[in-house]
Structure 1
Amino acid sequence: MQDDLASVARPATGRRIRFAPLLSAAFLLLVAIGVIAGKWLAPRDPDAQDPGLSVTMPGQGHLLGTDQLGRDVFSQLLAGTAAAVIGPLAVALGCVLIGVSLGMAAAYFGGVVDTLVNRLADLVYALPALLIAIVVVGVVGGGYWISVGLLVVLSVPAQIRLCRSAAMVQVRLPYVDAARTAGLSPMRTMVRHVLPNILPIVVTTFLLDFVSTLIAMAALSFLGVTGAAGNPDWGTMLANGQPLVAQNPWLSITPAVLIIATAASATLLGDTAHEWLTNKGTAR
């Protein structure tokens, strides 16, 4: 009897486990739609002010109420999706392009190249990324893309280390020696043969870099250090709504929930992608 119950329960557990990545992917798809068309999907102009209305709870045609300037909170959330997500995506993409290139080159060539890349990565890795970003952006002046560029430089050492470690395992395998013997160029060997075998690490670290940068840029916006000029931003909305929680809690709850949900969904999707790509590579 217990065996029968266990056999019935196992498929249900499997369905729940498979359902979570699908739910994460669906949520990230909605976020992507918000990035592309958030301003057009907003029911009201996110910048339209009604000082006479001021802070209100949901109602009167405002799904999540209004802020202290009478702006529609839901419209601001939709319009702010691009500012919240594009920067972290750019940082993650920059880290992957630089980290994979330098990491594979260090592993493949070794010697002086490996030493120089490692010393550079160690030097930058020792710097407190968020603190440096706050100081530099504060001195230079608040700038969205300045923050993006800084975070790429300060975040790339982790990507270099991971890709180098994964590539080091691959360059010692016979297929790399065979490619060298066949006269394939280093670039072709790394791109056509080494890169596909470290793809699980690359995809996972891309998503993890996106998550860490999403939180870092939201923190910078919350502190008022940076923000997308002329555009709403989840971190800025969270900061502006904090003193008004008693009047309209949705001002701070909704951007906080969106930041957490986006980060959690990307993390779960990264774990799932790593498992799937690893199993696919093993099967191959």
Structure 2
Amino acid sequence: MSLREYLSSDTVTSMRQATAQRVYWSLRAFLGNPLAVFGLVVILAMILAAIFAPWIATHDPNAQNLSRALQPPGEENWLGTDELGRDIFSRIVYGSRISIYIVILVSVIVAPVGLVVGMAAGYFGGWVDRVLMRVTDIFLSFPSLILALAFAAALGPGIENAVIAISLTAWPSIARLARAETLTMRASDFIAAAQVSGASALRILRRHILPICVPSVIVRITLNMAGVLLTAAGLGFLGLGAQPPTPEWGAMTSAGRRFMIDSWWVVTMPGMAILVVALAFNLFGDGLRDVLDPRQSR
């Protein structure tokens, strides 16, 4: 083995050891945050419930039994029944599928859009930055829920239209973050060296700036998931999301509000599901931020 090959292999080994050590300490720091671990456990439980819903649910979520309408929680119906005699526990379990579907699909849509817009604005600057950021400011000037309601009302009720409406309101914050990260890195020496070596703007964005933006965007997406869940529930509550008899948590809360005085469980159980999962996303996002961004660690 030549000296060059030896040095190359030694460098690769050192890089692998450094990466493994960094992953180890990051994982240890995350596990040392009990709130973040709690959030992760709740999210994993929700995902497992969505995957194994037919085996976890005790009843058909859409099966009606008017003779057992508005039954309180008990042995047969763990979380009680609604006004049509449907088992609330089974509907919440199946409703987790819809919530995960909306959260994941919105995240998959807004992350690339926000990254492309933000990196382009931050790297090219000038009129590109002004145009893209003014469009972003227009979206940010409206409350996200109000804007989502407007888009959902224009598109019509339905899960797919709700996903589009929420995505149209969720990408600007990602674009702002990606632009800030790009502006920080644009004047760096390694970017100047890449430009001098003849690297194209697309290559610099893809090979040098994108890897730096991704960790911050992942954290932001995770924190946004709670807002996406709440917005989806709000659209369902107002009848602009999933339509009956689909067991969506917001729609279940809306249907149960008429009975909340005498039959509190009808509105409380899906509301608690929304609360716990939204809190879990926030706690998990905070823990992930401490791991991926050492500047934010306490």
The TM-score by the shorter chain falls in which range? Answer: 0.7 to 0.9
Q: Which residue of 2 aligns with 1:61?
A: 76
- The C-alpha deviation readout for 1:159-208, integer Å capped at 9, x for no partner, is 11111011110111111111222333323322222122223320121012
1:271 aligns with 2:286: yes
1:203 and 1:155 mapped to 2: Cα distance? 14
Q: Which residue of 1 aligns with 2:194?
A: 179
* Unmatched 5+ stretches in structure 1: 1-13
How big is the shift at 1:16? 9.8
1:241 aligns with 2:256: yes
How big is the shift at 1:250? 2.2
Q: Which amino acid aligns with 2:203?
A: R
Task: Flag the 1:15–1:156 CA change in 2: closer, same or farther, 3 A.
Answer: closer
Structure 2 residue aligned with 1:202, among 217, 222, 229? 217
Q: Which residue of 1 aligns with 2:139?
A: 124
8 Å CA contact retained: 1:64, 1:74: yes
1:24 aligns with 2:39: yes
1:16 and 1:89 mapped to 2: Cα distance? 24
Compare 102-111 and 132-141 and name the one that shifted more: 132-141
What is the DSSP-based 3-state SS (H/G/I as helix, E as strand, rest coil) of the residue aligned with 1:65? coil
Count of aligned positions: 269
Q: Which residue of 2 aligns with 1:75?
A: 90
8 Å CA contact retained: 1:51, 1:69: yes
1:163 aligns with 2:199: no
1:34 aligns with 2:57: no
Compare 77-86 and 222-231 and name the one that shifted more: 222-231
User: What are the equivalent positions in structure 2 for 1:75-154 lying under 5 Å apart?
Assistant: 75-154=90-169
How big is the shift at 1:40? 4.2
Q: Which residue of 2 aligns with 1:8?
A: none
Task: Flag the 1:136–1:200 CA change in 2: closer, same or farther, 3 A.
Answer: closer
Task: Flag the 1:199–1:136 CA change in 2: closer, same or farther, 3 A.
Answer: closer
Task: Flag the 1:83–1:278 CA change in 2: closer, same or farther, 3 A.
Answer: same
Q: TM-score, normalised by structure 1?
A: 0.86
Task: Flag the 1:133–1:278 CA change in 2: closer, same or farther, 3 A.
Answer: closer
Which structure 1 residue ranges, 4+ long, deviate > 6 Å from structure 2? none
Identity %: 28
Compare 94-103 and 242-251 and name the one that shifted more: 242-251
2:99 and 2:43 mapped to 1: Cα distance? 13
Q: Which residue of 1 aligns with 2:272?
A: 257
RMSD: 2.4
Q: Which amino acid aligns with 1:200?
A: P
User: What are the equivalent positions in structure 2 for 1:185-224 lying under 5 Å apart?
Assistant: 185-224=200-239
What is the DSSP-based 3-state SS (H/G/I as helix, E as strand, rest coil) of the residue aligned with 1:58? coil
Structure 1 residue aligned with 2:242, among 218, 227, 232? 227
How big is the shift at 1:108? 1.4
8 Å CA contact retained: 2:77, 2:89: yes
Q: Which residue of 2 aligns with 1:45?
A: 60
Q: Which amino acid aligns with 2:282?
A: T
Task: Flag the 1:202–1:15 CA change in 2: closer, same or farther, 3 A.
Answer: closer
2:151 and 2:95 mapped to 1: Cα distance? 24
Q: Which residue of 1 aligns with 2:18?
A: none
How big is the shift at 1:93? 2.5
8 Å CA contact retained: 1:50, 1:71: yes
How big is the shift at 1:97? 0.9
